[in-house]
Structure 1
Amino acid sequence: LAVGRQHLQIVTLLCSKDANVNLVDKDGDTCLHEALRHHTLSQLKQLQDVGDSGRLMNIFTNSNGYEKRPSVAIACTLVMHGADLSARNKKNQKPFDLCPDPHLCRMLTQKYIEYNREHNNDQQLSQNSSLTECLVCSDNERDTLFQPCSHVVTCHLCASRVKKCLLCKENIQTRIQIEQCKICSQRRASVMYKPCGHLIACEECAGLMEKCFVCRVAIDSIVSFNELCCRNNDNLSIKSETLTPPIPTSSNDVSDAVALARLQQQLQEIREQVHCPICMDRLKNMVFLCGHGVCQSCGDRVQECPICRKPIEKSIILYT
């Protein structure tokens, strides 16, 4: 009724109160059908009042005050609140079938695209917020990693109350509170490394490392925080057997295994002395005032020393 009477303020008020703009009347017309029909009638009335062809063309080409016309403003308001451009009435007509004005059709199409983009973004934000909400209290964000299932379902205050994971029902052996990213110390860690299962870096810093910063195990893949919050992540469970070396069976095997382990340890210590502790790939060529060093590629990205966590006041490039 408000559209039929061309009451723009009432239409705007109803739309702001989340009124259904796609309701149909006995003829199957939606509000947008009615709005564009009124717009066409107003255009036709103007054509009857115009005498010469110059003024006739001016009706369609003059954009001054075009959007302020009640019929145009009402149609735009309806589309910006979810009016369906593809709805058909009982005569099988879409709203644009009732509107020969190409300028208005283009305008409504653009506003329809903008509405869908904003609506999809709102839905995505709502889904993300529900994923990060603690399943127990619903007040705090999830910040505790359960092991061995590798699910994140509660905040640290509620984690102690849960004996089995709420997603997979597996017994909880370890509860790990998720801390700040160990590289930038600005954002919360949100990426898990596989196969070691450590969650120590944010999404922005995760790509800097080729080996885990904690255990030095090579990184095969990474798992996002949203995946950790979902039920379908059975493949995330930490398989200890993949990291455990085979047990030697004879005395010779034992001695060889001990010697090999000692050599590997020595090699690892040498690597840690000369290689960047962040990426574990490039040689150290930048030193901070605290005495610790990294490669220049990683050093340019951090604001705190990754070893002692002191703020970086000055860096020195080493040339060899």
Structure 2
Amino acid sequence: TNNSLQQPATFEQCNDPVLRLALQQCFMEAMISAAQRAQQGVRSVRIEEQEEQNDLDPVSVRKEPGESAADGFSWAAQLVDSLSISNDLENKASTSADVEVGELALPLSMRECLVCCELERNVLLSPCGHVVACEKCAVLLKKCLHCRKPIESAEKVPSCRECASRPAQVLTRPCAHFLVCGICLKAKFRRVGLAGELDNLTEPKDEENSKDHALKKQKLVHQLLLNGELCGNRTCPQCSAPVECLWTVETASLGLSQELLDRQHVEMERLPPPSAPYAPPLDKELRKLQHELQVMREQTRCPICLDRSRNLVFMCGHATCQWCGDQVTHCPICRRAVSDRIVLY
């Protein structure tokens, strides 16, 4: 009897203390009812089955004196099984979420602080834009450990601007404002059809491969800037400053030379603009086209009325509309006398 009253270890796996207490109480009542039936040796008719058995509250369940011991055991077993299933589902969901975030996490060599080698790098140095130290060690630095430039300010890496649940991994240059995290960045790659190229990038094994991997990823991120997927109109969404390029956290952590990055960006700018429908025109390009159209219209309009097109040419080479040209005796541009007129059709 003492061994049968031991509580199963599954109760300790329950995360809700109220539910665990209710299950323990129900289990103890089932055990006590079974012991009483064994001592008395009395068998009675089972109680009528309740019509809405699925809506029963586990806390309000009580075993009647006439219920058999097997019913108590079966009810407790059903509660234990349901508890185990719910815990398994929660563990699988949390494990899958950890795997999704872990796949996009940076390698340890890019995450650990270069000063203490214990905490993770989480501070952006300005104006160089490198991430080399943790929050505690960054206040002790006077110069960047990568480029040796003086540090004017240090800011902790903020959360993603879109999901606000993970640290951002892409920043603008030269204003150095963070944009999106790794998962949101992957969604943008999928939206423009570049997710396959991102998945084809192999994980780096040494420092040299890490630089090559960072340059390839930097090239893909710069395509998002050219396509207008990130920083529309090539302006920072936080300060509205012009954005020259985008950096990834890998680029900021490895401290790649600015000359190498500038050379890559120049090569990207020389490429023809994408013709895919996901590349919206920039406001700068629209303003340029509108200006060129206005210049063309002014060149074909009559310089006198500024309304009709030029279709009458003087011998000096200048032109007006036929209505105005028939009424003048001197060219309105060079002031020469009009000797003859040529009508254009």
**TM-score with structure 2 setting the length:** 0.30
Could you say which structure has the greater relative contact order, defined with CA pairs below 8 angstroms and 6 or more residues apart?
1
Q: Going by fraction, where is helix more abundant, 1 or 2?
A: 2
User: Which structure: larger Rg?
Assistant: 2
**TM-score with structure 1 setting the length:** 0.32
